[in-house]
Amino acid sequence: MRFDKTFIAIRDRSILEIFDLSLLVVTDHFQALFWLLVIGATPWVSLDWWLVGWMSDTDDLTGLYYWVMLLLIVSQAQIGTSFMTHYLGQAMFVGRPGIWKTVKSVFGTGVYFWWSHGVLRMVIPVVLCCGLVNQDNPETALLFGLFLIPGLAAIGLGVRALRPFVSEILLLEKTPISSRDDKQVCFQRRSRTLHVAGNSDLFGRFVISAMIALPLGFACLALFITIDSVLNVRSSSGRSFLPYYWILAQWMVAGFICVARFLSYIDTRIRQEGWAVELRMRAEARLLLDAIE
């Protein structure tokens, strides 16, 4: 492992530079990131379609389907892209790690990782609420879809806005969850140090990311609709695939935002910890050890 040889230059960047760099990272690692997104998103897509897919065939609830499906994907985005996060962290120093090795490493993460995403970030509560929607009672579906589910999703988004780098800390730094030793780095202290100091900046980046993600999602949807029109898919099949295109478009955006969040994590460490200097010192120490040996 060479600490002075990373696949991106270690320097501080603005949020717009981070999104610009995200495009380059996606292009360079497209195949691995694509398959890791597929692996991470497929279970959630299947579950979500089983829960609310019936709304797309109900005339009175078609609009509600797109809204609820968006809320589900937004709440599940961070846990669904955890494989991508781990891959990017390893790719920083070791080149291009294997896809299945990455998947195995994520599944080997401690229980707190799944608790943090599933419960504290409201993934499981949102899914359970969708499961309680009664197909035979449209009024109940409207009540859940317009009030309860958005409220739970908003709580989860609030937690993610203030603590965006939980995945990166747990997956990449692999610190213990807590420790009585004040000198030992643990997850609780690490998260507090990383998030509290730049809280306002992180929230601002979250808002900008949301402002970019929304139109980007519609742009991806428009792309699928255009391809459908060019290939005459709807005319040939006699049915609309718009509900499926909506899911694909939003998960594509979730994958892109995951890359941007990882780069924002790197940028935050550079700003708060002087990470560029630390990595350079580690590299020099490794060279000295190699020379002595």
CA–CA distance, 144 with 262 (Å, rounded to integer): 33
User: Which band of pLDDT confidence, cut at 50, 70 and 90, is reported for residue 293?
Assistant: low
For 177-213, the pLDDT digits (tens) are 877 776 677 778 778 888 876 677 888 899 999 999 9
For the chain, domain boundaries: 15-292
SS (H, E, C) 169-207: HHHHHCCCCCCCCCCCCCHHHHHHHHHHCCHHHHHHHHH
pLDDT tens digits, one per residue of 17-38: 999 999 999 999 999 999 999 9
Question: CA 125, CA 147: separation in Å to the nearest integer?
Answer: 14
The CA distance from 128 to 279, in Å, is: 44
